[in-house]
A and B are shown apart, each in its own frame.
Chain A
Amino acid sequence: MASAFEYAPAPESRAIVDIAPSYGLFIDGEFTEAADGRVFKTVSPASEEVLSEIAQAGEADVDRAVLAARKAFEKWSALPGAERAKYLFRIARIVQERSRELAVLETLDNGKPIKETRDADLPLVAAHFFYYAGWADKLDHAGFGANPRPLGVAGQVIPWNFPLLMLAWKIAPALATGNTVVLKPAETTPLSALFFADICRQAGLPKGVVNILPGYGDTGAALVAHPDVNKVAFTGSTAVGKEIAKTVAGSRKKLTLELGGKGANIVFDDAPIDQAVEGIVNGIFFNQGQVCCAGSRLLVQESVQDELLDSLKRRLSTLRLGDPLDKNTDIGAINSEEQLTRITSLVERGESEGAERWSPACELPSAGYWFAPTLFTNVTQAHTVARDEIFGPVLSVLTFRTPDEAVAKANNTPYGLSAGIWTEKGSRILAVANKLRAGVVWSNTFNKFDPASPFGGYKESGFGREGGRHGLEAYLDV
C-alpha cells in the first residue's frame, strides 16, 4: 500500500534470544528426550523458517511426568503458603527481567506482532504470577472456608494464540493453591513454555512441581485421560473441549474449560464513533483475530451503519501488515498453515453464501502464512460467518434497530464468552449487560485483561473462571 505513511523498517533485534537447535521434554526438573525418541519441528509462521526441533511426548512420557508431579505434590502442598508465594514472586520478577527476550521469542514462534507480545502478553504474564503469588498465603480469606485444600496433580492443555499468557493463567493459580502441574503447550508454539522451564530452574522451584510436555493432540488426550490426574484445565476449541468433558466423565477429576466464542460488539447510535472504531479494530484484529473472546460480530445500530463502516474501512486501510518483529506492525502472521486454510475456507463460504467481502489494499509477504484484514457486510444471522468461530482477522457486520433486537442477536449463538457495548448512556450499558449471556462484557472498551479480573464463558464457551479470586476455585477442593 503506497500512501502518505511510509515507515522505515524498525525491527526488534533477534539477538536478545538464543534458541537452541533442539529441546527436550521438561520432567522432574530435567530436560529429557521422549521415550520413543520422536521429535517435531516448530517453525516461524512469518517466514516458515524452522526454529527448533522439539521432543514429542507420548503416553510413556505422560506417565513419567504425572508420576513426577505426584511425587512433588506431597512436599509442595505441605509448604506454608508464604513460602509458595515467594517462589511465585520470584517467577514473576524473573519474567519481568527476561520479558524482552520472551517477547521476541513469542513473536518468532507465534507470528504475532512484537508490539503485542511486548506490551500485552509479557506484562500480563508477569502480573498474573505476581497476583496469584499474593493469594498463596491468603487462601483463608478467599471465601472458600478455612484452609482450603489443593486437588493434586493438574493436567493442563493450552492453545497457541497466547502461549505464555495461557501458561501463566494455568500455572500461577495451580501452584499458588498447592497443586503441581503437567502442562502441554500447543504443537505450533512450544518454545516459550520450554523457556519457562528455565525460569523455574532460575527461581529454584522444586523439581517436579512444573512439568512441560510438548506434543500434539494425542499427547493432550493422554494427559487428560491419565488416571492419576486430579484436575484438568483446557483452553482451546469447543469441539476438543467436548471431547475432554466426555473423557473425564465418571471420574473425580475437576474440570474447567475455556473454549471458543463468537463475541458481539454492539454499537448504539449515540456511541462516539472514532472510539468505537478503535475498539472494533482492537476487538477483531488484535492477534490477527486469533482470540477466543474476539468481537467477531459487529452489531451496529442501523442509523449509524454507513458512518461507522466508512470510518472503519478508512481505519483498516492504515493497518500495517508484515514482519511481526517490526515495531510498527499491526497485523502479524497467521499461526499455522492449518489455521490459514481454515480461515480461507470459511471466508470463501461467506462469499458463496452471499455476504459481501471487503479488504483494504494490502500486500501479503511471499513466505509465511498471511491473511488480510477482512470485513463482511450484508451478513444475516444464518450465514456461516455469523455463526462459526473463524479465529482469524475476519469481521461480520450485522445491524439492529432496537436494544432488544441487539440483545437477541448478540445472544443468538451457542457461544457466550465476550461482548462489547458502545454507548454514552450508562444505564443502557448496564441494562444490556444484564441481558447478555456472556462471561465478560466490555463497555466502551474491548479486549481488556487483568489478573484481578475473572475470565471465562457461558454456554458452549466453557465453564470455570480464570483470573481474580474466582480463579482460585478451579484448583481448590471446594
Chain B
Amino acid sequence: MSDKSEQQRLSVFKTYKLYVGGKFPRSESGRVYEVTTRTSAAGAAGKDKWLANAPLSSRKDARDAVVAARKAFGGWSGATAYNRGQILYRVAEMLEGRKSQFVHEVADAEGLSKSKAAAQVEATIDRWVWYAGWTDKIAQVVGGPNPVAGPYFNISSPEPTGVVAVLAPQESSFLGLVSVLAPVIATGNTAVVIASERSPLPALSLGEVLATSDVPGGVVNVLSGRTAEIAAPLAAHQDVNAIDLAGADDVLAKELEIAAADNLKRVLRPQPVDDWSAMPGTDRMTAFLETKTVWHPTGSLGASGSSY
C-alpha cells in the first residue's frame, strides 16, 4: 500500500463488533479500547500503529453471551454429528476464501511477516477440517459397550457438557483461538469465547465467517476486552458448565478455578503450548464431555423362555 494510492483513495475502516447470538452488537457499556499493531521494536519505540477501537466488553455482555449460548445449546447438541461436521467444514471453506484478510489481520496482530502469518492462517483452516472430521468419530473412540457381568446391555456414550467459557490464548490470536474453540463446539457444546486481549481483531472477524457458515447463532459468541474483567463473571456464572483457562495467567487461573468450583464447572487449566500448529490430540474435546452410561436388561434364552 503506497502513500500514492492512499492519496488517491481513502480506505474505509471497519467497526469491529462483538459476535453474540448470531448478531454483531457493540458492547452494551459503550466502551472501546485501542488495539495496535504488535511488534516489539515498534512497541519499544512507542510507535505502535493504531488498528481499531475494539469493544471493551462488560459483565453484562458476558451474561448476554451466556444466555445466547444456552439458547443455542439444545439445537446444536441435538444436531447429528454429521451435520455438525459439515458445518465445521463449511467454516474452513469460508475461511479459505477470506484467507488474505486474515493473513493481513494476523500479521498486524502478532507482528508476523506475511508468509508466517499465512502459515498460521492455513494451519487454522486445516484445524477446522481436523475437528470437522471428529464430530462423528469421537464417540467411537471414547465410547462403547461395557461387558458387565450380567444380562444387561450396557453402553457408554459421550455427551457435551453444555455452555463452555473459553479464554483464548493471549499470544496466538487466531490459530490459538480456533485450536481451543473448535474442539469445544465440535462435540456439541456452545461457547462464549474471550478473544486475546491485546490482539482481538482476528477473533472478531472470525465471527463474520461463522455467521456465514451455517453455524447457528449463539453456538459461538465472541467477546473482546479485558480478559480478567470478562472471565470473572463467566467463571462464577451458574449457567456456565465449563471453562477453558487457556488465556489466563497463573494468578488469574487460580482465582477463576476457585470461582468455578461454586457450581463445579469442568475446568481445563492453562497448559504451556510452544507451538499451536502441532497436531492436537483428543484432550481438548474430552475435557468438555460427559460420559453417559445406559443399562438395559437383555433377558436371556432360559429354558422356560419366560425372560423374553
Complex alpha-carbon distance, A137 and B151, angstroms: 38
Task: Determine, out of B50-58, B126-134, B197-205, the stretch whose residues face the partner at the interface.
Answer: B126-134
Whether B299 lies near A82 (C-beta < 8 A) is: no
Whether A137 lies near B130 (C-beta < 8 A) is: yes
Whether A431 lies near B308 (C-beta < 8 A) is: yes
Given contacts A134-B133, A135-B133, A425-B308, contact A82 B126 (CB under 8 A): yes
Complex alpha-carbon distance, A89 and B305, angstroms: 50
Whether A452 lies near B140 (C-beta < 8 A) is: yes
Given contacts A130-B82, A427-B307, A468-B140, contact A138 B297 (CB under 8 A): no
CB distance from A146 to the nearest CB of B (A): 12
Task: Determine, out of A255-263, A389-397, A401-409, A456-464, the stretch whose residues face the partner at the interface.
Answer: A401-409
Cβ-based interface call for A478 (8 A): no
Cβ-based interface call for A85 (8 A): yes
Q: Which residue of B lies closest to A468 (CB)?
A: B140
Contacts of A134 in B (CB 8 A): 85, 132-137
Whether A127 lies near B82 (C-beta < 8 A) is: yes
Whether B89 lies near A89 (C-beta < 8 A) is: yes
Interface residues of A in 128-171 (CB under 8 A from B): 130-131, 133-138, 141-143
Contacts of A407 in B (CB 8 A): 301
Contacts of A315 in B (CB 8 A): none
CB distance from A411 to the nearest CB of B (A): 12
Whether A404 lies near B301 (C-beta < 8 A) is: yes
Given contacts A134-B85, A138-B134, contact A89 B298 (CB under 8 A): no
Given contacts A430-B153, A435-B301, contact A133 B133 (CB under 8 A): yes
CB distance from B281 to the nearest CB of A (A): 8
Contacts of B136 in A (CB 8 A): 131, 134, 451-452
Q: Which residue of B lies closest to A430 (CB)?
A: B298
Whether A138 lies near B299 (C-beta < 8 A) is: no
Contacts of B264 in A (CB 8 A): none
Interface residues of B in 2-48 (CB under 8 A from A): none
- Which of A402, A425, A434, A435 counts the most B-chain CB atoms under 10 A from its CB? A434
Cβ-based interface call for B156 (8 A): no
Whether B308 lies near A430 (C-beta < 8 A) is: no
Cβ contacts A421-442/B at 8 Å (1 or 0 each): 0000111101110110000000
Contacts of A428 in B (CB 8 A): 299, 308
Which residue of B81, B134, B282, B296 contacts A426 across the interface (Cβ within 8 Å)? B296
Q: Which residue of A lies closest to B125 (CB)?
A: A86
Whether A130 lies near B308 (C-beta < 8 A) is: no
Cβ-based interface call for B291 (8 A): no
Complex alpha-carbon distance, A434 and B298, angstroms: 8
Whether A430 lies near B296 (C-beta < 8 A) is: yes
Cβ-based interface call for B86 (8 A): yes
Contacts of A403 in B (CB 8 A): 301, 305, 308
Whether B86 lies near A135 (C-beta < 8 A) is: no
Cβ-based interface call for A118 (8 A): no
Contacts of B134 in A (CB 8 A): 134, 138
Which residue of B126, B137, B300 contacts A135 across the interface (Cβ within 8 Å)? B137
Whether A431 lies near B133 (C-beta < 8 A) is: no
Whether B86 lies near A130 (C-beta < 8 A) is: yes
Contacts of B137 in A (CB 8 A): 134-135, 138, 141, 452, 469
Complex alpha-carbon distance, A130 and B86, angstroms: 8
Q: Which residue of A lies closest to B303 (CB)?
A: A404
Contacts of A130 in B (CB 8 A): 82, 85-86, 89
CB distance from B137 to the nearest CB of A (A): 6
Complex alpha-carbon distance, A138 and B82, angstroms: 16
Complex alpha-carbon distance, A64 and B231, angstroms: 63
Which residue of A86, A142, A431 contacts B300 across the interface (Cβ within 8 Å)? A431
Which residue of A131, A141, A432, A469 contacts B282 across the interface (Cβ within 8 Å)? A141
CB distance from B164 to the nearest CB of A (A): 22
Complex alpha-carbon distance, A426 and B155, angstroms: 15
Complex alpha-carbon distance, A51 and B279, angstroms: 49
Cβ-based interface call for B261 (8 A): no
Cβ contacts B63-90/A at 8 Å (1 or 0 each): 0000000000000000001100110010
Contacts of B86 in A (CB 8 A): 130
Cβ-based interface call for B141 (8 A): yes
Whether A82 lies near B140 (C-beta < 8 A) is: no
Given contacts A134-B134, A452-B140, contact A427 B89 (CB under 8 A): no
Contacts of B305 in A (CB 8 A): 402-404
Contacts of A468 in B (CB 8 A): 140
Contacts of B301 in A (CB 8 A): 403-404, 407, 431, 434-435
Contacts of B89 in A (CB 8 A): 89, 93, 130
CB distance from B183 to the nearest CB of A (A): 13
- Which of B81, B126, B135, B137 counts the most A-chain CB atoms under 10 A from its CB? B137
Contacts of B151 in A (CB 8 A): 431
Contacts of B282 in A (CB 8 A): 141
Contacts of B85 in A (CB 8 A): 130, 134
**Cβ-closest 7 pairs across A and B:** A134-B133, A431-B299, A430-B298, A427-B299, A427-B297, A428-B308, A469-B140
Kindly list 10 other residue pairs between chains A and B, CB separation below 8 angstroms, not including A134-B137, A452-B140.
A86-B126, A131-B82, A135-B133, A402-B305, A404-B301, A404-B305, A427-B296, A430-B299, A431-B151, A452-B82
Interface residues of B (CB under 8 A from A): 81-82, 85-86, 89, 126, 129-130, 132-137, 140-141, 151, 153, 279, 282, 296-301, 305, 307-308
**24 A-B pairs, CB-CB below 8 angstroms?**
A85-B129, A86-B129, A89-B132, A130-B82, A130-B85, A131-B136, A134-B132, A135-B133, A138-B137, A141-B137, A141-B141, A143-B141, A403-B305, A407-B301, A427-B298, A427-B308, A430-B153, A430-B298, A431-B298, A431-B308, A432-B308, A452-B140, A469-B140, A469-B141
Interface residues of A (CB under 8 A from B): 82, 85-86, 89, 93, 127, 130-131, 133-138, 141-143, 402-404, 407, 425-428, 430-432, 434-435, 451-452, 468-469
